[in-house]
Each structure stands twice: as C-alpha cells, then as structure tokens.
C-alpha cells in the first residue's frame, strides 16, 4: 500500500493562527499525515493540541530537541518524513538546523529566521544535505501568480519597466500587543528580528516580485515608519527598488492602513503589455495591452498555462483562495518527496515552491531596507 507522507510539526499550539493554516494546507489534498508534534513550550497545551488532532500521545513531545532526536531513531515507515516549523521568527533557526542535521526535510514559516546570519547557515546546511527545504511565502502558491510568471517568462509583456507592489493591512493600527498573541511577537524586536512590517509582509511583496519576474534587486531606497507610539519596530514603509535591466519598483507595505485586510496587489508593466493581480480577487488576473481590450483571465480556464492548471483543483467558477494557495506548497512538497522516496528526480512543477534561497533573499531584503532606512544616502546596494 502506498503511504502518505508523514509530517511532524513544531509550534502551532492553540491560539496560533498560522499553525492551524499549515495543518489545513497539509491535510487538504490527502497526501500528508500529521503524526508527530511539539506544538507549544507548554507541554499540556501541546498534548491537548495533539489529541484534538487525533494524534497518538506518544508522538507528542515536550520540546523540539526531544522530538527531532526521538523521531530520528524511529524505523523507516514510521519515522516522520519532514518537519513543519511554525514558531515565531526567533525560534526558527535552531529546530530547522537540527532537523536538517538529523536528516529531515523542512517546511519553515517566513520570514526565514531572526537574522541573515542564521539564514545563511541554514541555506548552507540545506544545500549540503540535499534535503528539501520550503519557506512558506504563500502567495506564490496562487495559480494566477504562477500564470503571471509564465506569461512574463514567455515574453508576453516584452521588456519589463515598472512594478507596483503593495500590501496594506490595518490590524496593527492601534497598540494591541497586550491582548493579541499574533501581534505581540510581531512587534517585539526580540522575537521578530530587525523589521516588523517589512519582515512580516514586506518580504512577501519582495518574494512575489522576484518569483514572478525572475529579476534580482540591485539597490533600494527605503523609508520605514513607526506610527503607533511606543512601538519598537516599523509598522509601515515604502521601498524603491531597482532591478537588473533598469526595472523600477515601488514596494509599499503597511500594517496601520485601517480597514485594509491583506490587500496584496501587484502590477507589472512591460513595453508590450501589463498585468495586474490582487489577492482579494485571486482567481482573476488582468492582462492589458496598448491596442486591444483588457483581458480578464480566470483560474480554471483551459487557456491558462500548464503550471497554473497544475495548481488548481476545481473548474472555473469555484473560487479557490488562500488555503488552496498554501496547500499548493504542501502538496508540491509532498509530491516531490514521494518522487525522492521512490528514487526519482521530482518533476519541475513539484519543485515549484519557495525554497531556502527565497528565504535567504527575504532576509537580505530585511537587512537592506533597514540599513537604507537609517541611511542618508539615497541608494543602498542590495546586500548580496
């Protein structure tokens, strides 16, 4: 009998938003089974979480170290295949490094680590180990984002010129750290790292641009702001980014934009055509032309690329959303693992998920924009 991929999870106890999302994403396609976990630094919370997930108590561990070491000793067929790490940023590096050392594939929440140094160490280790390493820059999981990538790769927009990417949110417009677990660590430099808003959502924007266009940033001009009194990290910012080949980008991210949810939107203009995609209507992409009407492309339609269709579950007209985009990362990761376990090279579309390299790019983005924001020079070289 073919076996499901076996997953362990670190973090994601009760009260964790993103842990629950990771699990749904893992379960949705029926390829993955959660069998092991250390969900919380509070062991009884961890056990309660595991039980509510129909897990054996024996596979719920008191700390991540014990978990990784114990699982590593288990026999083939029982041992977990990969570990999903969904803790706050400052708790990413150590379990991820240990997981790699013990031979586990890894899925890690973003931004990848607390510091760039940690990220570089993980990248080195991941590459040496040959293990799969995904970083959940979720938005690249949307079929239309993949379509955008394909259209640009084929040259439909011509030579790119101008990019607008924006991600306004409003949930941190007031000081809610005392009452909101999600907010608390994100605004705390000891847990979040050097950047707040830019780390949490600016990195998503940055990843989205590099994923879709294949361009690499060369220099930036950043202005980071902290609007909520007493807050220690940025809660808003704008970054002008210059890419190879003269492409110019404005990246706008804000967490004080009252009334905005996750209005991630990207517009890319080339010298032959343009595209526009918005996470609030994720199943539509606009293609714009100089000499003919704007086209509304829709997920599920046969005219989309093979890559977009591979990442869609339903025919057109059945809106897919954030959870399916997230699940595409898990599903593709699982499909790649199945291939590896059978000794095969995974197909290219299975490997189409954000990797440790994307994670490192994100950390470099954070370092660079924080440096630029503190600089009086207009342009700061992208740290590379």
For a second copy, the closer CB: 49 or 113: 49
Could you tell me if 90 and 193 are in contact, meaning their C-beta atoms sit under 8 angstroms apart?
yes
For a second copy, the binding residues in 315-334 under the rule CB under 8 A are 315-324
For a second copy, the binding residues in 238-277 under the rule CB under 8 A are 238, 240, 246, 248, 250, 252, 254, 256-263, 267, 269-274
For a second copy, the closer CB: 75 or 290: 290
For a second copy, the closer CB: 148 or 256: 256
Q: Is 384 in the site for a second copy (CB under 8 A)?
A: no
Rounded to the nearest whole angstrom, what is the least distance from the CB of residue 178 to a second copy in the complex?
A: 16
- Tally Cβ neighbours within 10 Å of residue 25: 25
Q: Measure the CA–CA gap between 98 and 359, rounded to whole angstroms.
A: 17
User: Which tokens sit at 53?
Assistant: 């997930």
User: Which tokens sit at 302?
Assistant: 């046969």
CA 223 to chain centre: 23
Q: Is 381 in the site for a second copy (CB under 8 A)?
A: no
Q: Is 103 in the site for a second copy (CB under 8 A)?
A: no
Q: Measure the CA–CA gap between 40 and 45, rounded to whole angstroms.
A: 6
The sheet carrying 247-254 orders its strands as 284-288, 274-278, 265-270, 160-168, 247-254, 236-243, 217-225, 380-381
Which region among 47-55, 80-88, 93-101, 345-353 touches a second copy (by CB under 8 A)? 47-55
Rounded to the nearest whole angstrom, what is the least distance from the CB of residue 199 to a second copy in the complex?
A: 18
Q: Phi first, then psi: what are they for 225, rounded to 5°?
A: -125, 155
Rounded to the nearest whole angstrom, what is the least distance from the CB of residue 191 to a second copy in the complex?
A: 20
Could you tell me if 82 and 107 are in contact, meaning their C-beta atoms sit under 8 angstroms apart?
yes
For a second copy, the binding residues in 157-186 under the rule CB under 8 A are 161-162, 164, 166, 168-171, 173-174
Q: Is 298 in the site for a second copy (CB under 8 A)?
A: yes
Q: Measure the CA–CA gap between 98 and 297, rounded to whole angstroms.
A: 44
Q: Measure the CA–CA gap between 293 and 106, rounded to whole angstroms.
A: 45
Q: Which of 214, 202, 113 is closest to 165 using CA atoms?
A: 202
By rule CB under 8 A, what string of x and - marks binding of each residue 132-151 to a second copy?
Answer: --------------------
Among 17, 65, 124, 189, the residue binding a second copy under the rule CB under 8 A is 17
| Residues in binding contact with a second copy, number by CB under 8 A | 97
Among 76, 128, 178, 376, the residue binding a second copy under the rule CB under 8 A is 376
């Amino acid at each position: 009998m073919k076996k499901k991929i076996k997953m362990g999870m670190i973090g994601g106890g009760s009260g964790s938003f993103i842990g629950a999302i990771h699990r749904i994403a893992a379960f949705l396609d029926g390829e993955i089974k959660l069998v092991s976990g250390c969900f919380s630094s509070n062991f009884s919370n961890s056990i309660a979480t595991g039980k509510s997930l129909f897990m054996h108590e024996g596979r719920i561990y008191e700390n991540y170290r014990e978990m990784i070491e114990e699982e590593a000793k288990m026999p083939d067929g029982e041992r977990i295949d990969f570990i999903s790490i969904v803790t706050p940023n400052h708790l990413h590096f150590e379990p991820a490094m240990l997981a790699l050392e013990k031979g586990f594939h890894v899925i890690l929440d973003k931004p990848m680590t607390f510091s760039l140094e940690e990220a570089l160490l993980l990248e080195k280790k991941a590459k040496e180990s040959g293990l799969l390493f995904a970083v959940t820059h979720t938005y690249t999981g949307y079929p239309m984002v993949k379509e955008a990538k394909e259209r640009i790769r084929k040259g439909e927009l011509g030579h790119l010129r101008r990019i607008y990417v924006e991600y306004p949110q409003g949930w941190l417009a007031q000081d809610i750290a005392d009452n909101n677990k999600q907010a608390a660590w994100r605004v705390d430099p000891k847990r979040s790292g050097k950047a707040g808003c830019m780390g949490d959502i600016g990195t998503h924007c940055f990843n989205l641009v590099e994923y879709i266009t294949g361009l690499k940033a060369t220099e930036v001009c950043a202005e980071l702001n902290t609007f909520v009194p007493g807050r220690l990290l940025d809660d808003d910012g704008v970054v002008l980014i210059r890419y190879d080949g003269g492409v110019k980008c404005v990246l706008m991210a804000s967490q004080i934009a009252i009334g905005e949810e996750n209005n991630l939107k990207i517009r890319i203009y080339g010298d032959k055509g343009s595209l526009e995609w918005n996470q609030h209507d994720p199943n539509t992409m606009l293609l714009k032309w100089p000499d003919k009407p704007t086209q509304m492309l829709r997920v599920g339609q046969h005219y989309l690329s093979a890559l977009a269709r591979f990442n869609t579950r339903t025919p057109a007209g059945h809106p897919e959303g954030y959870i399916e985009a997230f699940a595409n990362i898990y599903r593709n990761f699982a499909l790649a693992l199945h291939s590896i376990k059978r000794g095969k090279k995974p197909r290219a579309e299975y490997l189409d998920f954000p990797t440790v390299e994307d994670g490192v790019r994100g950390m470099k983005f954070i370092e660079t924009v924080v440096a630029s924001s503190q600089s009086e020079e207009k342009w700061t070289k992208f740290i590379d």
